[in-house]
Amino acid sequence: MPAVIVKKEEKVASVFAAMSNPDDIQEFKTKFKEMYPKEWQHIIAVYQKEERADIKHKGHPMPEPEKYLENTYKVARNKR
């Protein structure tokens, strides 16, 4: 499966650089959506595609879009 976000680490780093408080997960999510609206729409689209493909309702590996951004934030935050 191709990456959900192309050049994710670079984009996440630029979001952190634009933030006034890097400890604020809500600010991260808001800034990401502002700075990368196409990527945000792509996250939603990939999630919806996974949902449609899950016909047996056993779940799929991708979390909901908001949770996906939270996880992205936490992983990047731990690397800093």
At 26-71, the pLDDT tens digits run 999 999 999 999 999 999 999 999 888 887 777 778 899 999 999 9
DSSP codes of every residue in 39-80: HHHHHHHHHHHHHHH-TT----SPPPHHHHHHHHHHHHHHH-
Assigned domain for 51 exists: yes
The answer to whether 13 touches 57, Cβ cutoff 8 Å, is: no
User: Could you give the CA distance from residue 61 to residue 24 in angstroms, rounded to a whole number?
Assistant: 26
- pLDDT given for residue 25 in this prediction: 97
Residues 6 or more apart from 67 whose CB is under 8 A from it?
none
**Structural contact between residues 43 and 68, judged by C-beta atoms closer than 8 angstroms:** yes
pLDDT of residue 10: 96
Domain membership of residue 17 (yes or no) is: yes
Residue 3 forms part of a structural domain: no
pLDDT recorded at residue 54: 81
Domain membership flag for residue 1: no
Structural domain total, the chain: 1
Query: Which residue segment(s) compose the domain that 54 sits in?
Result: 8-79
**Residue 75 placed within a domain:** yes
In this structure, is residue 56 part of a structural domain?
yes
Distance CA 31, CA 57 (A): 33
Q: What pLDDT does residue 2 have? A: 72
Does residue 74 lie in a domain region? Answer: yes
Residue 46 placed within a domain: yes
